[in-house]
Structure 1
Amino acid sequence: MVRRTLLSFALSFVALPALADLVVLQYHHVSDSTPSSTSTSVSLFDAQMDMIADLKLEVVPLQAGTEQALARAEADGGNDEPNQLAITFDDAYDSVYATAAPILSSMDYPYTVFVNTEAVGRHGYMTWEQLAELEQRDGVTIANHSADHGHLARKPGETAEQWNSRIDRSLDAAQATLAEKLGTEAPLFAYPYGEFDAALEAKLAERDWYGYGQQSGPIGESSSATRLPRFPMANAYGQLNGLPDKLQSKAFPVSAEELPDGVMTNNPPVLTFALPSSMKASRLTCFASGQGRIDINVEDGEVRVQAPDA
């Protein structure tokens, strides 16, 4: 079994040039009665939406916001616009239809629902009729979350032929079902469990799809179209005391092309990047999951970070 290490960076951005990045929020259930680890309580969801309004941040459709954020890499210099936001839901749970959708409609906020198509109509999930109703509303996008919500990275012992067949079926069957049932073929894909590797990213690139994970951070000029970050907003991660920093954070100014693969072959991995001229090494902090704060080494303008343990 491949073990993964999460590295979390914090950067004070006061001295950096302002960029209008895209912050994507990720939800599952919006409910007081579903598992807390994947749920946002109704009162917290309400308060989060109110905070977005109070901060006067623009909520935009996911695809348009993503394309605009990535296109800023081609612009000359930064701009000082505030962040844009996009709201997403994974799995098409029925609480999204019953609870979240009316709140978002009242605030005129667009949003995207990622659907694992084989679960539609099961207990706790939306029906095709409900999804069709949502899809007809202004600002609502229904998109692909695979057919079966399986672990899509190649499994130990799985041949390349077996993996290719399994992945092509899961990606394309779901897209075909969404087109048949709802008439929608949005080029947007949310990785089940937030898991991806280079081979899976290549599958999305072949299809010209955007790929969204569950790693935290905003989308900006340094992001890659097939490994786009989102901030999980379940109860443990979406509390109001830390939410303003997430909503107004800036993309880490390191190209996604320089980051390790999503599935680690060397654990713990080494992260290296050139220190941007706008950034001081003294303002970097790094944490590894379960290991607390870890050391950052800087030599000749290159930053090197490695967790002490896997």
Structure 2
Amino acid sequence: MTAPARARTRDGATPERRVRVGAVTIAPVVQFHYRVDPLRFFPDLDVGAIDEDAWYWRPPYREDGMLVIDIGAFVVRTPQRTLLVDAGVGNGKHRPNPSFDDRDDHWFAALHRAGVTADDIDTVVFTHLHVDHVGFATRFDGSAWVPAFPNARYLTTAAELDHWTGGSAAGDRARLGDYIGDSVLPLRDAGVLDVVEPDLRICEEVRLVPAAGHTPGNICVEVSSAGRRAVFAGDMVHHALQLAFPERSTDFCVDRCGASDARQELLRDIADRDVLLFPAHFPNATPGRIRTDPAGGYRYDPVEGEPL
């Protein structure tokens, strides 16, 4: 069992805001934000051909030539349930990526600002099992990594778990660090990881939607209440550029064509309707509505919500 990395304090992220979807309250819990070279996400992108004044190529989506990426999770509170969608990078974990390694963020304080504690969470839904979506699922108790939410069941799909624990993902695991070993397998060992169908209805207001492509068992989380609707897209829309060019997938997609198809299907479904999209990595975790752009692709209409 690997001990946690030596902690280093990092700056906090932008204060979060809550959004209401009928009787459901949604609050982002941002861990941190960082900048990344566009070619790391889109290796074949002709950066020089992009209009510098394009909406998706200006702040807050791009600053000083770098893409702006947020890392975190979302709290979803229904009248009966308290769920967490994804779980960030985590703290004190050894990672090859310097931006992910050895973090000591005040994420649980942000969770408290969202109105809940770790004990309140009854369900953790992983849209997929990438390193930046599972980290806070476990904590180090002095001798081992254990579930961080003591009253929660953790949900993933068979295709997702099989892929990331199987031989086909060995190269990715070596590149990303032993995050499956410290953030996913301890859940299985503790008997709290549930392998569910990708179209599971969790409760009256929340259901899963199959969206394979970015990863083999990737899912969306859909919230419906009082005639309103919201969709947690995970990494289906990693950056705003993919709204303007929905056919373009990132270098992190296991199946780029499948990811492109799933993204375009989602955007066609929700465009020009009163549906909130919650991408996992947009700056400040700001949700928005999708609007068809007459020039091609789609635009993003952000919704600020209420301060926590």
Assess same fold via TM > 0.5.
Answer: no
> Which protein is richer in helix relative to its size?
1
> Which protein is richer in strand relative to its size?
2
When normalised by structure 1's length, the TM-score is 0.31
When normalised by structure 2's length, the TM-score is 0.32
